[in-house]
Chain A
Amino acid sequence: MKFALYSGCVSKGGCPELYPAAVKVADRLGIELEELTDVGCNGAGVLPQYISDPINARTFAKAEKLGLPIMTICSTCQGVMTQANHRLIENPAYREEINREYLAEEGLEYQGTLEIKHLLWVLFEDLGIEKLQSMIQRPLTGLRISPFYGCYLRRPPEIMMPTPETRQRSTYLDKLIPILGAEFTDIAGKGKCCGFPILQSSEENSLAMAARHTGEAKGKGADAMVTPCPLCHLNLDGNQPRAEAQAGTPIGLPILHLPQFVALALGFDPDELGLSKHIVSTRAVETKVEMLS
Chain B
Amino acid sequence: MQVTFDVFRKDPEPEAKPWRSNYTVELPEEATVTDGLLKIRDEVDGTLGFRASCVRGYCGECLIRVGPRNRLACTARVSDFGANGPIALNPVRIVPVLKDLVFDWDAFMWNKIKAVKPWLEPKDADGETPVSDAQMKDVRKAMSCYYCGLCDEGCTALPEDFNFLGPAALTKASRFVSDPRDKNTPARLKILEQAKGIWDCVHCFEASEHCPRHIDPTERIVAMRDLAFKTGITNEKVARHHTSFAASVKESGWVDEGRLAVESEGLTNIPGLIRLLPTAIKATIRGKAPLPYMHPKRPGADRIKRIFEKGEQKTR
A interface, CB within 8 angstroms of B: 9-10, 13-17, 37-41, 43-51, 54-55, 58, 101-102, 105-106, 151-152, 155-157, 192-193, 195, 197-198, 200-202, 204-205, 208-209, 212, 238-239, 241-242, 276-279
Contacts and interface: CB of A to CB of B under 8 A. Distances in A.
Contacts of A17: 288
Interface centre among A14, A152, A209 (most CB of B within 10 A): A14
Given A16-B287, A51-B307, A55-B307, A156 B299 contact: no
Contact of A44 (B255, B279, B300): B255
Contact of A55 (B216, B279, B304): B304
Contacts of B205: 151-152, 155-156
Contact of A198 (B200, B304, B312): B200
A45 B290 contact: no
A38 B226 contact: no
A15 B202 CA distance: 21
Closest CB pairs A-B (n = 9): A151-B204, A155-B205, A48-B226, A201-B199, A38-B300, A40-B304, A193-B202, A13-B257, A193-B204
Contacts of B199: 198, 201-202
Interface stretch (B72-80, B99-107, B155-163, B174-182): B155-163
A151 B206 contact: yes
Contacts of A209: 156, 160, 202
B31 to A, nearest CB: 29
A239 B279 contact: yes
Contact of B300 (A14, A39, A277): A39
A242 B164 CA distance: 22
Contacts of A51: 246, 307-308, 311-312
B202 A197 contact: yes
B249 to A, nearest CB: 5
Nearest to B301: A40
Interface in B232-256: 235, 237-238, 240-242, 245-246, 249, 253-255
A40 B257 contact: no
B307 A277 contact: no
Contact of A54 (B229, B287, B311): B311
Nearest to B157: A205
B123 interface: no
Interface centre among B218, B229, B258, B311 (most CB of A within 10 A): B311
A72 B176 CA distance: 38
B202 A101 contact: no
B39 to A, nearest CB: 32
Contacts of B279: 238-239, 241-242
Contact of B310 (A38, A48, A101, A278): A101
